[in-house]
Amino acid sequence: MTTSSTPDKSPLPRTRRQVLRSTFFAFLLGLFVVVGVILPAEFSLDPMGTGRILGVLGLAEDGSGVVVLETTVHKTDRVRFELAPFESVEYSYAMDVGGVLIYSWRADNELVFNLHSTPNLPGGNQGPAESFSNGRADSEQGTYTAPFTGRHGWFWENRTDQTVLLELATSGFIGESLRSAVGDQQIGVPRPAL
């Protein structure tokens, strides 16, 4: 009769040397996970380049552009205009670059309109106007982000033979408002936003 001994296939280390070796490899694996994955994902530190390779570099960043802190106070403004036939009005706000304005305007008849901006130039001058939305409509609403520091607003013109009532509601990070109108006594009268 032959006796054969089969080795114990237990996954647990049996000697002190095996325990130390397993601990050392677990430490190395943990160190690799921290340096190779956690640091790139949580802190955008990628000393080994593995964060870029694995696509985890900067996962915990604040979502660039999702939250923007403002230095200008948030304001809400609501104005109404009565435009006689072929009368026009321009209404604008002082805004800093990146300032956000939520707007809605409605009229009881179609108007020609133009949402535009003029940048502030050195010496207190205004640059050329840049248009962002224009056409003929009786309403429009949206969100506007100022591409530069300057005046940002609308021009409306009534090309009908009837008086048109127009209401503009805005909310955002806006400065002083300015109204100018053809045939109106209040051309260029600054009006602080409410």
* Same-domain pairing of 49 and 141: no
* Same-domain pairing of 28 and 116: no
Please give the chain's pLDDT, 194 residues, in tens. Answer: 555 666 666 677 678 888 888 889 999 999 988 888 888 888 888 888 888 888 887 777 665 556 777 777 889 999 999 999 999 999 999 998 888 999 999 999 999 999 999 998 888 888 888 999 999 999 999 999 999 999 999 999 999 999 999 999 999 988 888 887 654 434 344 444 43
- Which phi and psi (to 5°) does residue 22 adopt? -65, -40
Integer Cα distance of 130 and 39 in angstroms = 45
Question: At which residue do the structure tokens 């530069």 appear?
Answer: 148
Please report whether residue 59 resides in a domain: no
User: In this structure, what token pair is assigned to residue 69?
Assistant: 């802190």
- Domain boundaries, position 103: 75-191
For the chain, counts of helices (H) and of strands (E) = 3, 8
Residue type present at position 189 = V
